[in-house]
Structure 1
Amino acid sequence: MRTLIGDGSVDELYAWPDGPWLRVNMISSADGAAQGADGLTGSINNEADKVVFDRLRSTADALLVGAGTARAEGYGPVPQPMIVVGRSLPPTLEGAPGVRLVSGGNEQALRELVHGLYAEGLDHVICEGGPTLLAGLLRAGVVEELCTTVAPLLVGGGGKRIVDGPLVAGGVPLTLSSLVEADGTLLARWRVVRHLAD
């Protein structure tokens, strides 16, 4: 891996800042597809993405994921608390320790959910999607950072993008914090601009 923008190793670039922080980690193909032809992200990710994915997940205090993504991708239990947003848990997570199901609700409900996690001392929250949950979190104004992987392949078709749903008027501006390249894969960290003054 070579760093194009930013300083330090992958571990240093993806270190968590002090205090409450919600990161979202998403992957897409070079033509913008958030999933492969089989409808799964697993068919477009690669080793470079897995390095960052594992780093982000293993260092987070809590994992936030949409029920549809957890079901489609076959999520199992993880060491830290997992909050699944949706109407029902996938069978692989039913009865698993540390797994909570919460209703998606509206932007206010998502805002209260994230601030509730912070109040529990779960400062470093990683959201692994999906696209509908990301849209809701962005509308709720709680996303601090977006980590993206762009895989060097074309998928075609009409698959989802990493954000599925309306956003605030004018979109959500971002600023690039770091960029790493590995065998054509681009791994970027984007900071949500409206939080820079917070």
Structure 2
Amino acid sequence: MRVLVGPDSGAATEEAGLAELYAVPRTPWLRVNMVGTVDGAATGETGTSGSINNAVDKQVFDHLRAAADVIVVGAGTARAEGYHVADRPLVIVSRRGDVPEQLQDAPAGAVLMATCEAAERVDRAREVLGADQVLVLGSHRVDLPLLKQVLADRGWANQLCEGGPHLLRDLLAAGVADELCTTTVPRLVAGEHPRITQGPPLDVPLRLHLLLEAEGTLLARWLTGVPAVL
């Protein structure tokens, strides 16, 4: 894996070097990690990101998970990608309060639900996950800035979001995401596929902090908002 842009440009890096290259400058810090093809598809033939990612993407994906205190993901993505209990808390974001079926038997405290007062299934979520694991934030939609703070207050300051595209768009619109990590795999898939952001238009300027390359796969760290000292 070569560093194209960033510290030690032109140098090779191994797993030990990823910790330094992907270190967060402050906390709380919310990064979003997404994968896409050269022609912009966020999913492949199976309708999941798993059908387009590769071993290089998996290496950084695993590192970001290991470095995070908590994983945040939209309910639709958790359902489509077949999410299961992770080795750190998993927070499902859902305006309906709908816990994906495969997570309903999770051990106590392993899965949390972030939802809103208008959620039609919030009572069921409390039954499944426990009242303490259901975060009601906002009236008709999830208050994402508040979610970031609530997670930090629980001691989960290094926060990793794994999408999906609608949640990424909403995090950017709310000014909550500090960083976007992208993997661009060297493939073209054509067809009808979502991009890494979906929803109403927005315009968010990004600053490239890091660009890695391995076997034609490009991995980038894009920073949002006020520049951080890295």
TM-score normalised to the size of structure 1? 0.92
> Which of the numbers 72, 95, 101 marks the counterpart of 1:91?
101
CA deviation profile, 1:76-120 (whole Å, cap 9, x unmatched): 101211110113122221131320112266677111111111122
Matches within 5 A, 1:31-180: 31-86=39-94, 87=96, 88-97=98-107, 98-103=110-115, 109-168=143-202, 171-180=203-212
Opposite residue 91 of structure 1, the aligned amino acid is: E
Secondary structure at the counterpart of residue 181 of structure 1: strand
- Shift in Å, 1:196: 2.1
Q: Greater Rg, structure 1 or structure 2? A: 2
> Which of the numbers 7, 10, 13 marks the counterpart of 2:21?
13
Alpha-carbon separation, structure 1, partners of 2:144 and 2:37: 28
RMSD: 1.8
Structure 1 window deviating more from structure 2 (43-52 vs 12-21): it is 12-21
Alpha-carbon separation, structure 2, partners of 1:13 and 1:140: 26
Structure 2 unaligned spans of 5+? 9-16, 117-137
Opposite residue 69 of structure 1, the aligned amino acid is: T
Correspondence for 2:4: 4
Opposite residue 99 of structure 2, the aligned amino acid is: L
Runs of 4+ in structure 1 displaced over 4 angstroms? Answer: 104-108
Question: Is contact 2:185-2:218 (8 Å) kept?
Answer: yes
CA deviation profile, 1:41-63 (whole Å, cap 9, x unmatched): 00100000001000001110000
Secondary structure at the counterpart of residue 151 of structure 2: helix
Secondary structure at the counterpart of residue 24 of structure 1: strand
Question: Is contact 1:34-1:160 (8 Å) kept?
Answer: yes
- The percentage of counterpart residues that share the same residue type is 51
Correspondence for 2:130: none
Correspondence for 1:184: 216
Question: Is contact 2:114-2:142 (8 Å) kept?
Answer: no
Alpha-carbon separation, structure 2, partners of 1:108 and 1:35: 25
CA deviation profile, 1:131-187 (whole Å, cap 9, x unmatched): 00001111111100000000000011121000001244xx00000000000000000
Q: Cα distance 1:108–1:82, how it changes in 2: closer, same or farther (>3 A)?
A: closer
Correspondence for 1:25: 33
Question: Is contact 1:22-1:125 (8 Å) kept?
Answer: yes
- Shift in Å, 1:11: 2.4
Question: Is contact 1:107-1:137 (8 Å) kept?
Answer: no
Equivalenced residues, count: 195
Q: Cα distance 1:186–1:197, how it changes in 2: closer, same or farther (>3 A)?
A: closer
